[in-house]
Structure formats: C-alpha cells, structure tokens
C-alpha cells in the first residue's frame, strides 16, 4: 500500500474535487430518507472571484452540510450566481471600450447578446473555483438569477405586488450615480468621511425702498447647488427671524427672488439658523419643497454636469462649477467665511463615484407592509439569528424602513414588466408580454426601459431556485430551508429582503436560522483591502498549503460574534497538522504491509468500542482509553458544528488527533507491536481508531480524509462510495470507560513528569537514560508496575518502583502529584555541568527581568510608548519570571546534594 513520503495535497485535491462533482454523490433527492436539511448559497456575483470572505463562508457551510449528510439527513446545498446588474454591465462596457464601442452604438438587443456571450465564456469563474475548493453542493441544481425559471418568478412577484398596490411609480428624490448612470437604493450608497469646507454666503433680503439692507447668512458644503435654490428656511420658533414672514431674498448669481419659509428643518442651534432649500438636489429639501409647494430647479444633470438652468455655469462639471460659484460670490462680496468641515459623502458602492441626489421618476416598493410580518417572524423566534445580538440591528432597520427604489437604468437585468401607452398614457403591467394597452386597447405601447434592482431577484432566491411559483417536489421538500450562513454586510441588502419576500410570496419564512459570521482580517486585525495591500488570494494559499489547511486555519478563528484573524503563519501551522495526519497514516500503512494486511474492512457495528483479540480477553488500557476519547470527541465536535461553534470543533479535533491519537496512542501502539506477539490484534484496533478518526475529521478536512479513507478501507458492496457518505461516528455514553481514562491520566502524568524533569535538568538527548525512583502507595504504583517498560521507553528513564511514601528528598529533581512522587538523578559529571548551565541562565534572566522592570517603572517611557509595546513587555516579563522560578528550583534541587 504505497503512500508518498511527503504530504503534497496538490497531487490529490484536484482529483477529488472533480470526482465529487462527476460522481454525483452530493445530488439531493426529495425521496431520500432522513430528516431534511437544506440551504442555499449566498449567490456570488457572476463577475466575482473567490476571496477570503467567500472561503470562510463556504467552509462553514460545507462543514455543516457534510456533517448533516454523514448524520443521515437528506441534505441539499443549492449553488448559483447572481447576475450582478451594475457590476456585469461595467465589465462588458469596459470590454466594448477596448473596441472603441459603447452600448448605445450596439443597441439594447445586441448589447444583451454580448453580455450573455461574456457570461458563458468568462462568467461563473467563482463557481469553478468553488468546485476546486471542494464545496459539496448539488451542482446539478446550480442556478443563475436570469435563468428562465427564476425570471418567471421575478415577473410573478412584480405583478402580484403591483396588483396589491405595493409597487408604484412616481417622481421622488433618489440616489443617482453619474458614472453608472443609474438610480441606487440607500443600501448601495457607502458613506465615507473626508475633509472639506463649509462655505457661508450672504443672501440679500428684499426690503422696501429706503429700509436698511439686510442679509441672511446661509452655510453649505455644496455651493454649486445654490444655483437651484427655491427658498431659504428658518425655524418658526426662532424669534430672530419672525419679521421675515412673507419676505423674499435675492438669490445671488441667478438674480431671482425666492421666499423665506418657516419650517422645522431649520435648526436654530446650528450656524445662523438659516438654511438654503434646493428641492431638486437634497432629500430633506425635497420633502420641504413638497410641504411648501416649491418649484424644482435641476441644475445638475445625470452625468454630473451643470444644466442650462445653472445659467452661465451650464456645461461645467459639478466640482469645477463649485470652484467658479465660490469665486463669483467672493468677487461680489457675498462670501462671508469658509470653515474646514468633515464631510460624509455618499459614494456608489460599486464604482466609488460621489452620488448625486436627483429627483427622478422611478419604480418603488412599499416596504412597511412587507416589513411587519418579517419583524414578527424574528420576534416570535420563527427565525433565529445567531449570534442573537444581530436581532437588535435587524429590528432597528426594519422598524425605520423606507420605500425601496427598485428600478435601475441599466440594460442587463430583469426588465420591468410594464408597458406605457402612447395613446392614453396609462401603464399595463402583465405576466405575459401584451400586444395592446389594457386600458384603451391601443397597440402603440412600449415596454419600460428600466430593469429591476439586482437584489429584487436575489430576494426570491430561497424559493425561486426550487421552482416557485410552480408547486414542485423540490419546493415541497426543501422549503423553508433550514439555515442561512452569510456575512453581516448583506443583512439588509439580502437577508431582510428574503424574509419579507419569502413570507409575502409563500406564506412561510425562507429559513429557520441565520448564522452571521464575521469579517476575515489580517494578522494585525486589519480589514483586508486592496488599498491596504493586505489581501490574501485563497487560490494562491490553497495551492501552497492545501485546501484543508486553509479551511482549518479559518475555522480555528471562527468564533461566533467575532471577526476571523488569519495569516500565512496560521495556515502553515494548519498544514503541519495535516502533515501530522499524513505521517500517522504512513506509519499505519507501513505496519499493515508488514503484517500482510492489505485493507481495513469496516466494522459491522459503528460505535466507538475496541475489539477484543484472539490472544487475550484483556483489552489494553490505551485501546479502552482511545475509544473513550473518540466517543467524547464525536460528541463535542458534533455539538460544536450543530451550534455553529466552528472554532471549538476544529480545536477539539486538533487536540484529539495530535495530542491524544498521535502523541500517545500511536506511540504506545508502536511499542506494543514491537514487544508483543499479537501484532494483528493491536493493528486491528489501531486501524479502527484511525478510520473513525478520519470520519470525525472529514467535514473539516475533506480532501485529506477522502484520500486516506479510500486507500484504507476495503471496497465492498456495503462500503459507501465516499467517506462523505459514511456515517458520522456515533456517541454513546455507555462506551465511556472511566477507569481507562483515569489510568491513562496517571500514565501520562508519570511520563510527562519524567520528560519535564529531564528538560529541567538540561538532558534533552533521548538516547541518554536517567535513573529514577517512583514512590506511590496508590494508583501510581499500579499503573507504573503494569506499564513500566512503556513508561521507561517513552521517557528515556530507568525506574525503581517503591510502594511507599517518598522520604525527604535531597540532591534530586522531583515532581509530585497526588498519585506519586518521581525522582530523577543526574550522574555527578552531568550534574555539575547542569548546575553551571542553570547558573548562567539564571544570571541572564535576572538581567533581562531587571531591564524590563526598569522600563515599566519609567513614567516617561510609559507615557510615550504605544500600549501594544507596553503589553508585550509585561507579557514577556511574566514569561521570564516563570522560567527563572523553574530554573532556581532545578538548581536548588541539584545543588543540595
């Protein structure tokens, strides 16, 4: 049974990644037995590529779905991608620009054809990357938000909501991206702070002839918009301006009169208490304009350039116009002052262009009627958020939800199923393309040019992917889905909208639980970004360290409610763990070959119990112990995965496999098989332990465990085709052998005490055996008597056993527990050398400790040093002091002879 000496995951991972897909072992069948467990993937953009956030999310989902599958559940993990309207259109338009073309030259039909061609050739790269990293989806069910079936669902929902009066068309203030040339929802606008200015201008008050001239001082961060002012506002409770009721002011540069209005939007405590009102370019001003019937004067167009309404500034870009407006006002003596001011500018989430508030005719969805049942579903526990603190965040947004602008001025996406009649001016909304107006039967109708916001279709994802509005078997079996795993950054974009749409369209919640994971951060706990240059390409690191190692490093940091810190050091450590598993397998396979055992046949009873052997009814203590630890590991790991405590699952597996299986069980089995005749009996329990361990590890490290399991387990008709289909190890408390656990605890304590004593004495060479005495009147003597040869081999000592209390011990190194006292002695020459070494180390430690203490007592240093540096010094000081105490104790023991 040849196995490579070196763990090189690149040799076998691509094979299993492709085989898992081609074999169809992850195909979900509604008729399959077992409780149903289903989830849908948060659909990545078709333009996207795998990043560490995806890697974390997909790993957590994959661990859960593999575990559920092994637990005998009828599992479905449904994959797919989102058409990503703005992002995809940008990508294809960039490609067209290389040809010297734009979409308007091509026309809508040809442009859409080009996008579909791009999608077939280059889109969906992220799904191919997911296949390579082993995600156990049912790839036969992969969906795309512009699939025919999903498109039908989108149209059905639009028409239903329109018929119920929950979708309407109107002229309102929206967020507009001058680069993408489309409306954006509030969620698609990212606010970033930057340093800017607050300009104060004088607006002359129109007074009767002969009256003293007056000015109102207004402040603005956007001087270019003053060209579209149609009023100035003061607070009705502000006594300073009571005399202005019914007055007007002269709008500088535009030479038109605008009224002074009294409105609560003006804060008497802010600035002069006077604000300019530009209803066409600010949402608050737009609302005030509606209250006071103010005209809309649009001075900035959809491209971010000044309109003819801006007078002599027409044609300028909005930021160039800003400079010229300020200069002109200053020249006229109307610039009062300029103050530095921190701005919070809204930017397009996709292209980072500063968003322009514009009044536009758009399609909107009424959200409050949809939000009410969605809030109730969470409050009643029908949907549970994990961690629970996200409920508060969800509720704050849902209770204050505003209508959603659902139309986008794009050509790529679900086109709005509404037709405008040129004859009567009314709109026909229809499930099928109409040939005439539903109101006047005119055939002169034209479909609305806009498409729906991408999140409209992805909000239907949990049920549209299962065939809704048809009553499919998949929908009946797998909906509502069991779980959603996603990041907090799309809690409102996607999660909340799925809940609202799911309840509205199906009458049921879309999922029962929502697990919100944190961000993946770098080793310094900084958010990863291309700007910082600290991003990690998951495909790059999986190639270097192996997919299992990257998964494992992410999972060990994935505590609920916290961000995940990762680094290549952590991945290297995880690779070392994978390498440890590989080396254990090599040892096992080599011993199988020596014993003439080709493969291991799965036990008929799948429980964590060792098998007795034909030579003796006595099962060795390490067998009884390791199967007890296996059972406990199965319990803890299963519970951790079930409760989304992935870090605990990874840690439990790590400590079991490395700390218990490899460091103790395998080492004991080496000695057993060297010294005792029943090699096959020992090998049988070793193989059984290893096979069960692989199944425990599989959800977390699927590639390595599949490779080893396929090599290890004999192929029979009863054997599953894959370890992924094998049962997860069962936990039965009755298999726990408490006596063996206690015995092994004492055994390990004796060996560890001897090893630590050797280290304290400076004797690290395992070839040199030290003499010692073990004193014990209790279990320590029993264990040491029974396993004396193994203790001596593992600790490189020669022990004399005495069933008595230890005398006063001088001139010796001692370790004591409640069960025993262990004494080791060095030969005189070695003892003298050890004393000199310890004295030198103690002197060096005392100097280092003194220097550290001086630094921590220096007030000047403490006031200037970063907190992180001070904490590091304190931590190191504690380590130095601990080591000093150990060395002093060892020296005292040696010097007392």
Supply the pLDDT for residue 813.
Answer: 67
Over its C-alpha atoms, the chain yields an Rg (Å, rounded) of 37
Lowest mean pLDDT: which of 42-46, 410-414, 522-526? 522-526
Supply the pLDDT for residue 827.
Answer: 66
> Does residue 483 surpass a pLDDT of 50?
yes
Supply the pLDDT for residue 617.
Answer: 46
Residue by residue, what is the 3-state secondary structure of 526-580? CECCCCCCCCCCHHHHHHHHCHHHHHHHHHHCCCCCCCEECCHHHHHHHHHHHHH
Q: Which residue has the tokens 């791009």?
A: 118
Residues β-bridged to residue 770:
797
Query: Which residue spans within 29-117 are E strands per DSSP?
Result: 36-40, 74-78, 80-81
Sheet holding 418-421, edge to edge: 427-429, 418-421, 445-447
Residues with Cβ within 8 Å of 868's Cβ and at least 6 positions away in sequence, in order, are none
Would you place residue 44 in the very low, low, confident or very high pLDDT band (cuts 50, 70, 90)? very high
Would you place residue 208 in the very low, low, confident or very high pLDDT band (cuts 50, 70, 90)? confident
**CA 446, 451, 456, 460: dihedral to nearest 10 degrees?**
70
**What are residue 378's phi and psi, to 5 degrees?**
-80, -40
Q: What is the pLDDT of residues 306-356, one digit of tens each?
A: 999 999 999 999 999 999 999 999 999 999 999 998 888 899 887 889 999
Do residues 588 and 594 lie in contact, with contact meaning Cβ atoms separated by under 8 Å? no
Q: Is 30 exposed, middle or buried (0-12, 13-18, 19+ CB in 10 A)?
A: middle
Q: What is the pLDDT of residues 739-796, one digit of tens each?
A: 999 999 999 999 999 998 888 777 667 778 889 999 998 899 999 999 999 999 999 9
* Average pLDDT across the chain, whole number: 90
Residues with Cβ within 8 Å of 55's Cβ and at least 6 positions away in sequence, in order, are 133, 520, 538, 550, 551, 554
Lowest mean pLDDT: which of 16-25, 359-368, 480-489, 819-828? 819-828
Q: Is 150 helix (H, G, I), strand (E, B) or coil?
A: helix
- Other residues' Cβ atoms within 10 Å of the Cβ of residue 347: 18
> Does residue 607 surpass a pLDDT of 90?
no
Average pLDDT over residues 692-698: 97
Quote the tokens at residue 316: 């300028």
- Other residues' Cβ atoms within 10 Å of the Cβ of residue 400: 9
Q: Is 262 helix (H, G, I), strand (E, B) or coil?
A: strand
Q: What is the pLDDT of residues 95-127, one digit of tens each?
A: 999 999 989 899 999 999 999 999 988 888 899
- % of the chain beyond a pLDDT of 70: 94
The predicted model scores a pTM of: 0.84
Would you place residue 424 in the very low, low, confident or very high pLDDT band (cuts 50, 70, 90)? very high
Would you place residue 662 in the very low, low, confident or very high pLDDT band (cuts 50, 70, 90)? very high
DSSP string of 381-436, one letter each residue: TSSEEESTTHHHHHHHHHHT---EE-EES-SSS-B--EEEETTT--EEE-SS--SS
Q: What is the pLDDT of residues 703-730, one digit of tens each?
A: 999 999 999 999 988 899 999 999 999 8
Quote the tokens at residue 357: 């508030």
Supply the pLDDT for residue 848.
Answer: 87
- % of the chain beyond a pLDDT of 90: 68
Average pLDDT over residues 362-376: 97
CA angle 242, 244, 249 (to 5 degrees): 155
State the pairing for strand pair 384-386/511-517: parallel
Residues with Cβ within 8 Å of 333's Cβ and at least 6 positions away in sequence, in order, are 202
> Does residue 815 surpass a pLDDT of 50?
yes
> Does residue 616 surpass a pLDDT of 50?
no
Would you place residue 212 in the very low, low, confident or very high pLDDT band (cuts 50, 70, 90)? confident
**What are residue 563's phi and psi, to 5 degrees?**
-80, 160
Q: What is the pLDDT of residues 147-183, one digit of tens each?
A: 999 999 999 999 999 999 999 999 888 899 998 888 8
């Amino acid at each position: 049974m040849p196995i490579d000496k070196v763990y090189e995951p690149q040799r076998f991972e691509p094979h299993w990644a492709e085989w898992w897909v081609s074999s169809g072992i992850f195909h979900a069948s509604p008729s399959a037995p077992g409780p149903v467990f289903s989830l849908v993937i948060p659909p990545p953009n078709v333009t996207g590529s795998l990043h560490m956030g995806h890697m974390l999310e997909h790993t957590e989902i994959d661990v859960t779905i593999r575990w559920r599958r092994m637990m005998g559940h009828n599992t479905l993990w449904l994959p797919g991608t989102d058409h990503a309207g703005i992002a995809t259109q940008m990508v294809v338009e960039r490609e067209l620009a290389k040809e010297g073309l734009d979409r308007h030259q091509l026309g809508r039909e040809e442009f859409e054809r080009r996008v579909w061609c791009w999608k077939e050739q280059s889109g969906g790269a992220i799904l191919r990357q997911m296949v390579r990293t082993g995600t156990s989806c049912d790839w036969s069910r992969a969906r795309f938000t512009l699939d025919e079936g999903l498109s039908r669902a989108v149209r059905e929902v639009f028409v239903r909501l329109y018929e119920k009066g929950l979708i309407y068309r109107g002229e309102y203030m929206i967020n507009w991206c001058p680069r993408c040339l489309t409306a954006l929802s509030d969620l698609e606008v990212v606010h970033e702070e930057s340093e800017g200015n607050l300009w104060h201008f004088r607006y002359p008050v129109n007074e009767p002839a002969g009256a003293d001239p007056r000015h109102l001082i207004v402040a603005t961060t956007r001087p270019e918009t003053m060209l579209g002012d149609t009023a100035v506002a003061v607070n009705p409770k502000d006594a300073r301006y009571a005399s202005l009721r019914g007055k007007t002011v002269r709008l500088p540069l535009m030479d038109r009169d605008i009224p002074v209005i009294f409105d609560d939007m003006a804060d008497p405590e802010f600035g002069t208490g006077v604000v300019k009102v530009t209803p066409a370019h600010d949402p608050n001003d737009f609302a005030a304009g509606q209250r006071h019937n103010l005209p809309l004067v649009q001075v900035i167009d959809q491209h971010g350039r000044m309109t003819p309404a801006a007078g002599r500034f027409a044609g300028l870009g909005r930021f160039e116009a800003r400079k010229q407006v300020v200069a002109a006002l200053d020249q006229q003596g109307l610039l009062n002052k300029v103050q530095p001011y921190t701005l919070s500018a809204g930017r397009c989430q996709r292209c980072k262009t500063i968003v322009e508030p514009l009044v536009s005719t758009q399609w909107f969805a009424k959200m409050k009627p949809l939000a009410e049942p969605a809030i109730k579903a969470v409050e009643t526990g029908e949907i549970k958020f994990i961690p629970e603190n996200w409920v508060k965040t969800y509720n704050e947004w849902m209770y204050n939800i505003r209508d959603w602008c659902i139309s986008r001025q794009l050509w790529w996406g679900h086109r709005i199923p509404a037709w405008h009649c040129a004859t009567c001016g009314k709109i026909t909304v229809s499930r099928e393309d109409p040939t005439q107006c539903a109101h006047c039967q005119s055939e002169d109708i034209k479909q609305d040019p806009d498409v729906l916001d991408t999140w409209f279709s992805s909000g239907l994802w949990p049920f549209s992917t299962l065939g809704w509005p048809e009553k499919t078997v998949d929908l009946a079996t797998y909906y509502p889905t069991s779980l959603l795993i996603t990041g907090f950054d799309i809690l409102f974009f996607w999660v909340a909208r799925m809940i609202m749409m799911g309840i509205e369209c199906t009458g049921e919640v879309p999922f029962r639980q929502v697990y919100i994971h944190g961000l993946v951060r770098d080793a310094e706990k900084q958010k990863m970004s291309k700007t910082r240059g600290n991003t990690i390409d998951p495909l790059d690191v999986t190639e270097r360290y192996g997919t299992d190692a990257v998964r494992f490093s992410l999972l060990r940091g994935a505590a609920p409610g916290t961000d995940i810190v990762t680094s290549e050091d952590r991945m290297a450590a995880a690779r070392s763990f994978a390498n440890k598993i590989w080396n254990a397998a090599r040892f096992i396979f080599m011993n199988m070959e020596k014993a003439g055992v080709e493969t291991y046949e799965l036990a008929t009873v799948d429980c964590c119990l060792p098998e007795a052997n034909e030579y003796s009814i006595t099962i060795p203590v390490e067998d009884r112990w390791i199967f007890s630890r296996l059972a406990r590991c199965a319990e803890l790991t299963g519970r951790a995965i079930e409760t989304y405590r992935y870090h605990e699952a990874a840690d439990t597996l790590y400590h079991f496999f490395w700390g218990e299986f490899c460091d103790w069980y395998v080492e004991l089995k080496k000695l057993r098989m060297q010294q005792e005749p029943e090699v096959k009996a020992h090998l049988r329990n070793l193989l059984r332990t290893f096979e069960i361990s692989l199944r425990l590890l599989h959800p977390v490290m699927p590639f390595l465990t599949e490779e080893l399991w396929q090599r290890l387990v004999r192929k029979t008709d009863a054997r599953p085709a894959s370890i992924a289909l094998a049962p997860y190890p069962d936990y039965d408390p009755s298999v726990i052998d408490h006596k063996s656990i206690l015995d092994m605890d004492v055994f390990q304590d004796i060996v560890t005490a001897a090893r630590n004593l050797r280290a304290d004495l400076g004797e690290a060479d395992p070839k040199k055996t030290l003499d010692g005495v073990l004193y014990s009147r209790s279990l320590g003597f029993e264990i040491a008597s029974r396993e004396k040869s193994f203790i001596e081999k593992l600790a490189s000592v020669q022990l004399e056993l005495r069933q008595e209390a230890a005398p006063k011990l001088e001139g010796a190194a001692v370790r004591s527990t409640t069960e025993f006292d262990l004494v080791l002695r060095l030969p005189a020459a070695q003892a003298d050398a050890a004393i000199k070494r310890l004295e030198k180390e103690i002197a060096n430690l005392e100097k280092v400790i003194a220097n550290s203490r001086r630094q921590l007592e220096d007030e000047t240093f403490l006031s200037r040093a970063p907190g992180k540096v001070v904490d590091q010094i304190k931590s190191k000081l504690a380590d130095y002091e601990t080591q000093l105490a150990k060395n002093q104790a060892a020296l005292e023991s040696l010097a007392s002879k």
